[in-house]
Structure 1
Amino acid sequence: MQNQNPNPDAQAPEDAPDLDTDSLANELEQLRGALGDLREEALRERAELENQRKRLARDVDQARRFANEKLLSQLLPVLDSLEAGLKAAGDATGPLKDGLELTLRQLLKVGEDNGLAQINPEGEAFDPEWHQAISQLESPGAEPGSVLQVFQKGYALNERLLRPALVVVAAG
């Protein structure tokens, strides 16, 4: 009778020699190592994706918080002009001064609603991160390093400096 086995190299199970348990154990360890490596890689990729998601959410939040930065910084001279107009009006009363005050309050309210905060440090300690000193004056009644006069108010947008306050500082 002829051998009808399509694969002549394959042996029948009863003819199989005892398999080498050491080589199987080595192969099993290699496979376990490869599986561990794949698990670590999957964890790293998952962590990287999570970090990317958090970074993207943080970037979107920053973009949202500072989207109006250019517009608000362009409005600062308008606020300065309104304040200068009110200062020039002095003690005078009338509809023009009332209109200027109302317009200034409305603009400041819109700015505040969008994260704009005024920096008016008169009487406070000089802070070079928020104030820009334009001169120093001897002032016997003032604490050295304190702000004596504010020439131009500063502004911050969501706690980030938009424009420093221009100030005169008491000499020490």
Structure 2
Amino acid sequence: MSKTKKQGGTEQGAGADAVEMSAERAEEIVSLLRDGALEIPVGAEDLAGALLVVAGQRDENRDLLQRTAADFQNFQRRSRQNERETRELTSAGVVQSMLRVLDFFDMALQQDPTTATVEQVIGGVEMIKAEFLRVLSTHGVEVVMPSPGDEFEPRKHEAVEKRESADIEPGHIVEARSPGYVMSDRVIRPAKVVVAEAAGDGIKEEDGDGAEPVEQGGEG
């Protein structure tokens, strides 16, 4: 059986060599025909002409394939370069918009700490926060701050606590702990919320032996 396999492998190798030799021979014949260095036997003129036509088409297809491959490589290189430049421009735009927020911090730090009042400090912080939110909005970022009674949405909200509530329907928000942020319908950070749950059943206390408590009363 191993001998048969060996013979099969030898035959396949010989076949591949024969195909390679045939291709080389065909290429040699085409070259000779193009140079006019090969004498064409009588009656084989049409066959020789057809061979030259096929060889010409093959050369055209090979050239087209090489040009297409080169164009595709250039396209890939340009695409990577454009992607890199786009990322750099986007990052530069974000940094540039954040510089104004940094200016607000510098303005706050220039205040005299010996004369600044609490109201001035709080006002400065609120101004910086407002400017920061404005910058976020210019980049398509929206604040998600649910209100009590809003329905809990797992995609936009993160439940950090469940609490019984007499006023809020189960599965709805009792309070928001921190805001969330979305950008083009993509959740960057969910809002942290407390969710209402159904009140548990009341538990009736009993004596230690399980007997009903005895009602005590005075003599009539």
Corresponding residue SS for 2:161? strand
1:34 to 41, 49, 59: 59
Residue 135 of structure 1 and its aligned partner are, at CA, apart by: 1.6
The yes-or-no answer on 1:155 pairing with 2:187 is no
Residue aligning to 2:27: none
Distance 2:62 2:196 in 1: 66
Corresponding residue SS for 1:151? strand
Residue 116 of structure 1 and its aligned partner are, at CA, apart by: 3.7
TM-score, normalising length: structure 2: 0.45
Distance 2:173 2:74 in 1: 49
Deviates more, 1:152-161 or 1:126-135: 152-161
Residue aligning to 1:78: none
Q: Aligned in 2, Cα 1:94/1:17: closer, same or farther, shift over 3 Å?
A: closer
Corresponding residue SS for 1:22? helix
Residue aligning to 2:71: 46
Q: RCO greater where, 1 or 2, for CA within 8 Å and sep 6 or more? A: 1
TM-score, normalising length: structure 1: 0.54
Distance 1:36 1:120 in 2: 63
Query: Which has more radius of gyration?
Result: 2
Identity of aligned residues (%): 22
Deviates more, 1:44-53 or 1:142-151: 44-53
Deviates more, 1:60-69 or 1:111-120: 60-69
Number of residue-to-residue matches in the alignment: 138
Distance 2:86 2:150 in 1: 32
Residue aligning to 2:191: 165
Structure 2 unaligned regions, length at least 5 = 1-34, 102-117, 199-220
Distance 1:139 1:63 in 2: 50
Q: Aligned in 2, Cα 1:16/1:114: closer, same or farther, shift over 3 Å?
A: closer
